[in-house]
């Protein structure tokens, strides 16, 4: 089971806390990189923090970033060659972004998703493997 890193800004704080509670029940090892409260903060700081941590072991780690929409986090995270951050609003996207894009960070929007849908998207993302094959060649074309 891969280690999970999670971070949010204030706009994603409640959903982050909910996901941590639920994923712990499923025995995931989950590291919370903040934010720790609802004080206004800057989502790129948390995206960068998680990316730096994830890059230490991309083989055995996946990330979850939560903000109000998921958009800012995905933009901020996708600035490194090792990072494939995907914003998902349904389980189909979560499944395909693992199978085809080998996404290693899931971006979620607290102001977009209900908690149960967000949890189902997260479980789908964490439980789906990259299919490699023709998709590996396409990912290599990114650089």
Q: Could you list the residues that contact ligand RB5 (CB under 6 A)?
A: 9, 11, 43, 67-69, 71-72
Q: How is 42-73 classified by DSSP, letter by letter?
A: -HHHHHHHHHHHHTT-TTSEEEEEEESSSHHH
Q: Which candidate, 106, 17, 12, places its Cα nearest to that of 67? A: 12
**From the CB of 141, what's the least distance to ligand RB5, in Å?**
27
Q: Please say which residue, 28 or 46, places its beta carbon nearer to ligand RB5.
A: 46
Starting at the edge strand found earlier in the chain, the sheet holding 30-32 runs 30-32, 3-8, 61-67, 105-109, 85-87
In the bound state with ligand RB5, the residue whose beta carbon lies nearer, of 47 and 62, is 47
Give the Cα separation of 80 and 30 in Å (integer): 22
Q: Active-site residue 14, yes or no?
A: no
Least Å distance, CB 108 to ligand RB5, is 10
Comparison of 1 and 38: residue with beta carbon closer to ligand RB5? 38
Q: Minimum distance between the CB of residue 87 and ligand RB5, rounded to whole angstroms?
A: 10
96-110 core/surface letters (b: 16 or more CB in 10 A; e: else): bbbeebbbbbbbbbb
The CB-of-20 to ligand RB5 minimum distance in angstroms stands at 18
- Nearer to ligand RB5 by Cβ, of 50 and 61: the residue is 50
In the block, tokens 């204030």 appear at 10
Closest residue to ligand RB5, Cβ-based? 72
Q: Which residues are catalytic?
A: 100
């Amino acid at each position: 089971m891969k280690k999970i890193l999670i971070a949010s800004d204030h706009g994603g704080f409640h959903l982050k806390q909910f996901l941590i509670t639920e994923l712990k029940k499923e025995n995931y090892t989950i590291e919370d990189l903040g934010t720790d409260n609802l004080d206004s903060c800057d989502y790129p700081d948390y995206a960068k923090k998680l990316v730096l941590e994830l890059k230490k072991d991309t083989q055995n780690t996946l990330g979850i970033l939560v903000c109000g929409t998921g958009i800012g986090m995905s933009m901020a995270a996708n600035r490194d060659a090792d990072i494939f951050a995907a914003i998902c609003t349904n389980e189909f996207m979560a499944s395909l972004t693992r199978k085809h894009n080998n996404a290693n960070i899931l971006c979620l929007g607290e102001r977009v998703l209900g908690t149960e849908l967000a949890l189902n998207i997260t479980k789908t993302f964490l439980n789906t493997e990259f299919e490699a094959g023709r998709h590996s060649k396409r990912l290599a074309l990114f650089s």
